[in-house]
Amino acid sequence: MDISDKTIFPKGDKAPADYFTGTAWIKVLVPNDTIMNCQIGNVIFEPGARNNWHTHPAGQILIATDGTGYYQEKGKPIQVLHKGDVVTIHPDVMHWHGAAPDSEFTHIAVNSSTQNGIVTWLDRVTDEEYYGLKS
């Protein structure tokens, strides 16, 4: 079964390779504008896929909707995420998110107060970091 057959939202576009390791798909659900100052996107990570380390100047909320995912803040252990988990990420906290090695993962990402900026991309998450050998 194609991944898009069981998802709520369209799969969207391939996530930029500069900021993602592995394959992920992004569908913008609510485009950012100066009235709402809020951007909402659905992200599907294929197994093993994850985004780079990054920060959000105004924070971010992740809502897990399918599969098994990983979330890690710098210096802390990786957290495993399942459908229904919600993660609140405070402004300027360095982190990454993605799928577990053996599962797809889908989350909705809410970026509020976008007048303060949306994301600052940093280094790639190495295999050593991803497999939990180093945080």
Judged by the rule CB under 5 A, the positions of this chain that interact with Mn ion are 60
CA distances from 110 to 29, 59, 83, 129 (A): 10, 9, 16, 25
Q: Which residue is nearest to Mn ion (CB)?
A: 60
Cα distance between residue 11 and residue 13, in whole Å: 7
Please state the closest distance from residue 30 (CB atom) to Mn ion, in A.
Answer: 16
Please state the closest distance from residue 34 (CB atom) to Mn ion, in A.
Answer: 22
Identify the residue whose tokens are 């995420």: 81
Question: If DSSP codes are grouped into helix, strand and coil, which group holds residue 130?
Answer: helix
Q: For the chain, report the end-to-end CA distance as a whole number of angstroms.
A: 35
Residue 89 identity: I
Nearer to Mn ion, 2 or 18 (CB): 18
Please state the closest distance from residue 54 (CB atom) to Mn ion, in A.
Answer: 6
Cβ proximity of 117 and 57 under 8 Å: yes
Nearer to Mn ion, 6 or 90 (CB): 90
Nearer to Mn ion, 7 or 60 (CB): 60
Nearer to Mn ion, 4 or 92 (CB): 92
Please state the closest distance from residue 109 (CB atom) to Mn ion, in A.
Answer: 7
